[in-house]
Amino acid sequence: MTELAELMPGERGRVCGFHKGNPEYKQRLLAMGFTPNTEFTVIRKAPLGDPIQVEVRNFQLSLRKKEAEFLRIERVL
């Protein structure tokens, strides 16, 4: 497992689950397409690492670092 913030632009990841926390925010991430086993690509990161732009299910989204920490992911080679 790794953090989304650790991935560099161009790297791929897979959603493994969610850290415990706000269930409403979990529903929001699910609605954005971050369901378990979904792969995504990091498109770009802001100079200070916040926000992070990703492509998931052919959509490009920006996540704040705090939002991204809620995801449990693994790096895809």
pLDDT in tens, 3-33: 888 899 999 999 998 988 888 888 988 999 9
What does the chain come to in residues?
A: 77
pLDDT of residue 50: 86
The whole domain housing 53 covers: 4-76
Give me the CATH number covering residue 35: 2.30.30.90
In tens, the pLDDT along 37-75 reads: 999 999 999 988 789 999 999 999 999 988 888 899 999
34-50 in b/e burial notation, b at 16+ Cβ within 10 A?
A: beeeeebbbeebeeeee
Total number of domains in the chain: 1
